[in-house]
């Protein structure tokens, strides 16, 4: 008993102090974590919005590479959006991991990566792209968040084609000599399975 008493405050903090953490774990499933809207941010932005929320960095820095994300609570509860969207979110983590694993095999030596996504629901498209970036980083890939720079004529021409046709055409216009562009997209709003491909050295390879 004397051993457990000093640990009780820490146990309570662990059990109840992480209720707002969007990361999957004891209280947040992978499918629920996928419902959070997360965007990359900076120390400066956090300091403006929530002064004192971050610990000051040491004068000489540290040995860890820091990346900050702001995650907002989901706007839609389960069941509020179309069933296809809920079904996609429920399996998003598994699908993204399969896509990234396939991309590693298809392009094993790309020095840098960027992620692209398309879905009829813009919120889901952002979640898919964010999940791709997180999965790539978890495999120690160098990820760049840039989006392709296209002319207005290219955008119009590509937007008139379905994703399964536009992405292979887009590949020829991407700066892919020193970078792999990983794309995941939904072809039909009724589908809950993503399609995916990777562009590298101006060659498009289907993954799913």
**Within a domain: residue 42?**
no
What total of structural domains would you count in the chain? 1
The CATH number covering residue 190 comes to 3.40.50
**Within a domain: residue 119?**
yes
Residues 6+ apart with CB under 8 A from 118: 125, 163, 183, 185, 186
In degrees rounded to 5, what are phi and psi of residue 66?
A: -100, 135
**Within a domain: residue 62?**
no
Q: For residue range 64-114, list pLDDT tens digits in order.
A: 566 676 676 555 555 556 677 788 888 999 999 999 999 999 999 999 999
Res. 15 pLDDT band, cuts 50 70 90: very low
Q: For residue range 22-69, list pLDDT tens digits in order.
A: 555 544 555 556 556 666 677 777 777 777 767 776 655 555 566 676
Domain that holds residue 100: 83-206
Q: For residue range 138-169, list pLDDT tens digits in order.
A: 999 999 988 888 888 888 888 899 888 999 99
**Within a domain: residue 36?**
no
Report residue 172 as tokens.
């020829």
Q: What is the pLDDT of residue 51?
A: 77
Question: Is-contact 30 93, C-beta < 8 A?
Answer: yes
**Within a domain: residue 39?**
no
User: In what helix (H) or strand (E) does residue 130 lie, and over which residues does it extend?
Assistant: helix 122-138
């Amino acid at each position: 008993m004397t051993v457990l008493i000093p640990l009780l405050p820490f146990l309570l903090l662990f059990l109840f102090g992480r209720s707002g953490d969007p990361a999957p774990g004891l209280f947040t499933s992978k499918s629920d974590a996928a419902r959070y809207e997360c965007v990359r941010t900076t120390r400066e932005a956090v300091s403006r919005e929530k002064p004192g929320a971050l610990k000051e960095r040491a004068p000489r820095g540290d040995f860890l590479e820091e990346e900050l994300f702001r995650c907002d609570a989901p706007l839609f509860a389960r069941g509020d959006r179309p069933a296809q969207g809920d079904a996609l979110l429920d399996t998003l983590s598994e699908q993204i991991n399969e896509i990234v694993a396939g991309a590693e095999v298809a392009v094993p030596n790309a020095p840098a990566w960027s992620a692209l996504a398309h879905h009829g629901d813009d919120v889901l498209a952002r979640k898919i792209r964010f999940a791709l970036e997180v999965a790539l980083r978890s495999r120690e890939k160098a990820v760049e968040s840039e989006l392709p720079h296209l002319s207005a004529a290219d955008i119009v021409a590509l937007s008139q084609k379905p994703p399964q046709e536009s992405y292979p055409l887009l590949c020829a216009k991407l700066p892919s000599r020193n970078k792999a562009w990983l794309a995941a997209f939904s072809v039909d709003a009724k589908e809950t399975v993503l399609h995916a491909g990777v562009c590298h050295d101006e060659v498009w390879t289907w993954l799913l």
